[in-house]
Structure 1
């Protein structure tokens, strides 16, 4: 398939479980892919695996100058940037608000929220030069309610929702669509391995047994929606939010087809 032929995509956090899935799928459908990440070794390896239509750029999403360099490198390599996927994110170690230090709070918001803001700010002029395009911000179901012990992460993902809607309003007349995907519990190291400073992974707090779809999500579940939202099939969709959580937010499912 070549749904994304002549399109160039910059994916932040492009070497992680979800990010690498997005990069590979977009590349397989014809896109030029730019892998933005802090790990030079993993980024270079993924780019080498994919071949000439892939590039790695070292990108610290919390730094404006790093964003400027990444967008410039993207345009130098492929001539235009048409799609941005703000996928990079970090998780705080679980702690009560009163036990969360200011440095942890600042770090989580710097990456998850400020990184998304800076990405939109840096990419918008490039997308405009290209004649339009799409931005997808990766949020979280934690941004749809409260979650004990994860205040910095929850706050950052709630804020991404408002940022998405505002950017959609500001950029719509430039033919730039901005949408958000909110994954639930996805089986990646981000969920199944402890955050730095913790010995407890998020997955330990969730059992998929009560979900309407009783399993953890897979990166491919998120990628499938991402491909739709960044394709011409979604040309009339902007400012929208999509939850992919197997029914986590719906409440407990029926057991054996009847109330338990």
Structure 2
């Protein structure tokens, strides 16, 4: 499949590792020009030299909006914004969650998306192929016990996405959310390990329980998320907007 993305300009938050890195690599393979922010300086150093990269904590409003502006100046505009930044947040019962942890999870997962869109929207209006792709989670569709800050923020991402799709549709800007399930990688392993510790059971028990509620009983490769991003960013996805697209192996519940 040819995505027709040669020369298109993209910003990817948290694009130096995991899902974000898979998205960046796929974009580069399509000939896109990419700007990336991430909090991990070591991971940023591993990016190809063609990538415009900055170390940013997306919970820092001034730093984040400054990066978006600088990136758009470097790229000479913007065609695609991918809001990928996120953290797992605390794993605990609601009465044991610290309010500071709650706020930080929402700041990184949800508020950062508001900030990038509000900063980038004027440039996107000038593009002939504008798209915004927000990374949510299957937890934003089914909920997630002991992970309430994360789930609440990811539900918020879907609400933001659908509202923006309506608001910006007249400008030709399509806005969609992707909802990954159990994605292969260190981050997913750490989440399951934390869950196992919280419940005082083994990792293998938590993992087996997670896949009990998934039709396809294997981890989703990050490249599957990247492929969906390319489709939504390309002219092929011109008439897809306002959608919350699950790539989760048909996950019915998060235990």
Same fold, judged at TM 0.5 (above): yes
Q: Which residue of 1 aligns with 2:163?
A: 166
Out of 233, 249, 252, the residue aligned to residue 246 of structure 1 is 249
Whether the aligned pair in 2 keeps the contact of 1:13 and 1:35 (CA below 8 Å) is yes
Taking a change above 3 Å as real, the CA distance of residues 159 and 57 of structure 1, as seen in their structure-2 partners, is same
Q: Which residue of 2 aligns with 1:237?
A: 240
Q: Does residue 214 of structure 2 align to residue 217 of structure 1?
A: no
Cα shift readout 1:207-258 (whole Å, capped 9, x = no counterpart): 335532121111011111111111100101111110111122289xxxxxxx
1:175 positional shift: 1.5
1:198 positional shift: 8.0
Whether the aligned pair in 2 keeps the contact of 1:35 and 1:47 (CA below 8 Å) is no
Cα shift readout 1:16-49 (whole Å, capped 9, x = no counterpart): 210000000001001001111112332132133x
- Using the alignment, how far apart are the partners of 1:157 and 1:170 within structure 2? 20
Q: Structure 2: any 5+ residue segments left out of the alignment?
A: none
1:205 positional shift: 3.3
Whether the aligned pair in 2 keeps the contact of 1:58 and 1:70 (CA below 8 Å) is no
Q: Which residue of 1 aligns with 2:150?
A: 153
Whether the aligned pair in 1 keeps the contact of 2:88 and 2:105 (CA below 8 Å) is yes
Q: Does residue 63 of structure 2 align to residue 66 of structure 1?
A: yes
Taking a change above 3 Å as real, the CA distance of residues 80 and 30 of structure 1, as seen in their structure-2 partners, is same
SS of 1:185's equivalent in the other structure is coil
Q: Which residue of 2 aligns with 1:255?
A: none
- Using the alignment, how far apart are the partners of 1:126 and 1:63 within structure 2? 22
Out of 180, 185, 188, the residue aligned to residue 185 of structure 2 is 188
Q: How does 1:1-260 map to 2 (within 5 A)?
A: 3-48=4-49, 52=50, 54-131=51-128, 133-194=130-191, 200=197, 205-207=206-208, 208=211, 211-249=214-252
Whether the aligned pair in 1 keeps the contact of 2:69 and 2:120 (CA below 8 Å) is no
1:117 positional shift: 1.1
Whether the aligned pair in 1 keeps the contact of 2:162 and 2:243 (CA below 8 Å) is yes
- Using the alignment, how far apart are the partners of 2:98 and 2:167 within structure 1? 35
Q: Which residue of 2 aligns with 1:258?
A: none
> TM-score by structure 2 length?
0.89
Equivalent pairs counted in the alignment come to 247
Q: Structure 1: any 5+ residue segments left out of the alignment?
A: 252-260
- Using the alignment, how far apart are the partners of 1:128 and 1:110 within structure 2? 26
Cα shift readout 1:155-180 (whole Å, capped 9, x = no counterpart): 00111111001111111111111000
Cα shift readout 1:48-94 (whole Å, capped 9, x = no counterpart): 3xxx3x21022322233223322222222221111000001001231
> TM-score by structure 1 length?
0.87
